[in-house]
Structure 1
């Protein structure tokens, strides 16, 4: 099979600048996105044209292999304009990183003819796979595949059973569009525009080269590293993917903050007959919310930088670092939501109106909070247990 010869025609800064140029339009479409229950195709196409979806894609397939911080900065900014668009961008945009860990045969199938191919996902092991010659037979129904309308492949989590009915592995399966059905079930109060519908697969054969063992990815390994040798693809799976879930929520908080400040500058409090911006308690709330948002972001990106430094030195990423990433990730989500709650409560009755950005950010952020990656007690318990000297399974991080 011939080696791809695609080369990027953009750099990360050009992509970041392009995303900034798109924000006013994405913001204008936020209400439409919610009404349609899916990100408009025009928004996805525009993000594609500025190169956003190529940020974490291998250079050999026209990608940029960019710094993840550049990727997450773009996601944060998109989510500040529209929570649903930010969420879908984050999820679809991170998948090229994982596809790069698959066997080259799978990479060729996804990007060989069209390097703009997009992939959605649903990682919870809702599917059942049985071992067969050369691969697996997969069946199941998966929920919450955000952005699946804009993808032609899907990554699905499934438990692998042997002939005795025992679970022998937990794998991610890469499935083409003609082998699965999308069931429209997404009618929700928050993140309504993500189109996070169900995926149904009925007894489909998946070659082994189109699968990844979660045990292997948990050790920062994957067959695709043989051809994608950059440090980007040696980072830790769970750290990147949980950051992918928290970053849009921080973006929503930034958007809510900007909206609240603008509202308060123009608002006169009817009860007191004074400008809201002159209320000293309003100033305290703004200071508190901004600190929570900044702290969430700084810790999230600082941890990515520290993980990159370990990889650059050729070191194994310590379990303590992985646990700290999860600690700061779930608390980053909580800090962002606390900030939005504080701002929303202080914004007055006009913030309740349908179509206002602040109430939409409030609903979207709380919807994002229920994602499994944002389960704070589990992540914090694991961190604390490790601090007390108890053994923690590294495969879970």
Structure 2
């Protein structure tokens, strides 16, 4: 079934590319694209089988995202972050899973995990308030996952949780006016003193140790992978896919290009251009292959029933942030060598360049923090694995 989903996604790629300008103009992915993607089964790749999902190998999910990104960066970004949320919902208590999918297994969720909201402990749950930014694809979703600090009656922070909130309990404020990933509709979510039952929350301390109450119902190894490994790959994969798309476009452009400033020399015969292509190809392939290799290592540890080594988790993060760097470095190399025509509004290459750099600023792509954690562990320092 996963292969059928991939085939269906690939059939849509020309359409997604043709709508890239529309996505930028609308500042959201067109409804038709979300509908078509849903019909392939893409959004159910990581969803539990008991809710009509596929419980597929996450490599299938990432491969689909990568290929979508080669057509349209914004569509891939929304597909990736919305498409990964069923994986996390599967970790919530069964009551929350039933609320999301019990009557409609096509229900989608957006998110904003930075703990910019405040939750007060009350009997049976929490009172949640705040504003959250960058909730990509929120206009296409019926629920949202929000990060928040939990305060006790004395005003002390006692937990960091993810809160699952239905559409009736939040408003979307249209603030997304940006130069890259413009079509993602990553608007603000506002919640005003809403009660969230305990069962509709998930502690980050639990997810940090690869645990969630939903594992009682969803026993697949898929749901035993580390939260931060799964979610950070969700951010780097679209950027790698944009690099693959930019590479194919650049090669095609340069095969046709004649450089007037160099006595009408064909760019494809320029030895410096060929070297640049080789370097770019290596950067992109290295980013993708190593990321998938690490995913398989995680899966192998889970399959053996082992606790995933902290060193492996930090290696996954190390390679994930460097994968984003490699992909963007490759795009930069090609963009710099593409000539003035690549600058024109509406051209494919400049959009991929803008979208990739916009994706780079996501917190999951912060290289120094992830690399410092890996290096500190190598030097024998104590590391808290909670966020990695």
Question: How far apart in 1 are the matches of 2:71 and 2:364?
Answer: 23
Shift of 1:134: 0.4
Q: Residue in 2 aligned with 1:47?
A: 37
Per-residue CA deviation, residues 59-116 of structure 1 (Å, 9 max, x unaligned), is 0000000000000000000011000000000000000000000000000000000000
Q: Residue in 1 aligned with 2:133?
A: 143
Question: How far apart in 2 are the matches of 1:360 and 1:313?
Answer: 43
Question: How far apart in 2 are the matches of 1:236 and 1:306?
Answer: 12
Counterpart mapping for 1:229-248 below 5 A = 229-248=219-238
Counterpart mapping for 1:289-308 below 5 A = 289-308=280-299
Shift of 1:396: 1.7
Q: How does the TM-score come out when normalised to structure 2?
A: 0.99
Counterpart mapping for 1:354-369 below 5 A = 354-369=345-360
Q: Does 1:317 align with 2:321?
A: no
Counterpart mapping for 1:1-397 below 5 A = 11-272=1-262, 273-397=264-388
Question: How far apart in 2 are the matches of 1:73 and 1:270?
Answer: 39
Question: How far apart in 2 are the matches of 1:312 and 1:396?
Answer: 23
State the SS of the aligned residue for 1:60.
helix
Shift of 1:34: 0.7
Which blocks of at least 5 consecutive residues in structure 2 are unaligned? none
Question: How far apart in 2 are the matches of 1:104 and 1:282?
Answer: 56
Question: How far apart in 2 are the matches of 1:308 and 1:91?
Answer: 21
Return structure 1 stretches of 4+ with deviation > 6 angstroms. none
State the SS of the aligned residue for 1:64.
coil
Question: How far apart in 1 are the matches of 2:176 and 2:34?
Answer: 19
Question: How far apart in 2 are the matches of 1:183 and 1:382?
Answer: 36
Question: How far apart in 2 are the matches of 1:244 and 1:130?
Answer: 30
Which blocks of at least 5 consecutive residues in structure 1 are unaligned? 1-10
Q: Residue in 2 aligned with 1:5?
A: none
Shift of 1:378: 0.5
C-alpha root-mean-square deviation of aligned residues, in Å? Answer: 0.4
Question: How far apart in 1 are the matches of 2:107 and 2:21?
Answer: 27
Shift of 1:204: 0.2
Question: How far apart in 2 are the matches of 1:390 and 1:298?
Answer: 29
